[in-house]
Amino acid sequence: MSVELKIPVIGESVTEVTLSSWLKKDGDYVAEGEAVCEIESDKASMELPAPSAGVLKIMAEAGSELKIGAKIGELDTSAAKPAAGAAKAEAPKAEAAPAPAQAAVSSGKEVNVPSPAARKILDEKGVNSTDVKGSGKDGRITKEDAMNAQASAPKAEAKPAAAAAPRAAAAPGSRGVRPEKMTRLRKTIAAKLVEAKNTTAMLTTFNEVDMSALMELRKKYKEQFTKKHGVGLGFMSLFTKAVTVALKDWPAVNAQINGDEIIFHDYADVGIAVSTPKGLVVPVVRNAESLSLAEIEKEILALATKARDGKITIEEMQGGTFSITNGGVFGSMLSTPILNIPQSAILGMHNIIERPVAVNGQVVIRPMMYLALSYDHRIIDGRESVSFLKQVKELLEDPSRLLLDV
């Protein structure tokens, strides 16, 4: 008896996916629930589990563009699970004709076996797994190891060039090119950004915030906060809380255009931009206005972890009313963030730099951050945008107001 392996329904708007890679080989025996392949939709990637135990028959190639419901393989459920004795019986064959990795081990060279996700990343970068030191159990190469191996990739590519050309040709100024197919997620991000630029009257207003009080508050209570709540106190929860307070007073910033109507929201579902190996995703913290700082921190941590591991669902990224992006973690001093449509506004955070500022007639050094609010001028006027950003600034410079709701 065989069980069909099909592309499942992922979300309401998803009609096509990419079969990124097979995690099992044709003829492999897989257990029920074991991941057999990885598929990528417009917004996220996910592993497809085996619906039953059996021997896998692959019927679609990795890299294929497939419709929802497309058949990609079969599982022969009548096939018996290989016995432990059979595996032992095959061991001498493996020793007689060792695989490249085994041969390298026997010759004394350290070889690490990558996880399926790590292997995919290494293949995309053109990095040999033998050049990567694994930090996982028994030296296994983890996904993080593969991501950090990027710096060594050019060395692996430089060897053939050096061997094929005279030494003089290896001078600085190499003109090599490396075409790489855009992932489905990257193509979707590109299309959304262009749509936002072409369909909205986007404008950006700026302000700066003195982070002294916020940094002092965090420094004073960081250890107690972590001990009590089991999660660190970061700036993102404080910014999120300040935003939700200001959105109540300036509801247009939390609104959206739907045809010839403006939809106002009496809640704040705040999207938090997260950078992942495959691109930028924006998971949503639901009803952030009613959550405590600790609850916001826990939700952000959980969503960010799922996003970076490729486990985020489409539902967790839909329906936001406002977004926050933090380019400061990468060293950005100032930027104009692009709207996450259909939302009408997005707040950009930047890095904290000590600068001389005038305070009460005196020049003092303070940790300062530039804030940028991009907004759709079709429904948000200058009064609303500037006043909203000014209120966020004032709440952050006097964080006690967040607790007193004044």
Query: In this predicted structure, what is the pLDDT of residue 263?
Result: 96
d(CA 54, CA 74): 9
The pair of structure tokens assigned to 244 is 């939700």
Model confidence pLDDT, tens digit, residues 105-126: 444 444 467 766 677 777 777 7
Residue 119 zone, left/alpha/beta (φ > 0; ψ -120 to 50; rest): alpha
Mean pLDDT of 310-332: 90
| Enzyme catalytic residues | 377, 381
Structure confidence at residue 167 as a pLDDT band (50, 70, 90): low
Edge-to-edge strands, sheet with 2-6: 2-6, 71-76, 54-58, 29-30
Give CA–CA dist 79/50, Å, rounded: 15
**CA 48 to each of CA 32, 51, 121, 227, 265: distance values in angstroms, whole numbers, following the listed order:** 11, 9, 18, 38, 36
Q: What is the pLDDT of residues 356-388, one digit of tens each?
A: 999 999 999 999 999 999 999 999 999 999 999
Q: For residue 108, what pLDDT is reported?
A: 43
Q: What is the band of 43 on the pLDDT scale with cuts at 50, 70, 90?
A: low
How far is the C-alpha of 189 from the C-alpha of 198, rounded, in Å? 14
- Alpha-carbon distances, residue 282 vs 203, 266, 300, 340, 341 (angstroms): 21, 21, 11, 9, 11
Residue 323: closest CA among 338, 304, 345: 345
State residue 109's pLDDT score.
44
Cis bond upstream, residue 342 (ω within 30): yes
Q: Is 304 left (phi over 0), alpha (psi -120 to 50) or beta?
A: alpha
Tens digit of pLDDT for each residue in 50-99? 888 889 999 998 888 888 889 999 988 887 777 654 544 454 444 444 44
- Residue 397, φ and ψ in degrees, nearest 5: -80, -15
**Residue 389 reports pLDDT greater than 80:** yes
Give me the pLDDT at residue 392, please. Answer: 97
The reported pTM is 0.63
- Position 99 scores a pLDDT of 43
Q: Which contiguous run of DSSP H or E holds residue 392?
A: helix 382-397
What was the pLDDT predicted at 79? 76
8 Å CB contact between 45 and 310: yes
Q: Indicate if the pLDDT at residue 162 is higher than 60.
A: no
Residue 105's pLDDT is 41
3-state secondary structure of 25: coil
The chain-wide mean pLDDT, for the chain, equals: 83
Domains of the chain: 2-76 (2.40.50.100), 112-163 (4.10.320.10), 184-404 (3.30.559.10)
Query: Does residue 193 surpass a pLDDT of 60?
Result: yes
Q: How far apart are CA 321 and CA 267, in angstroms?
A: 8
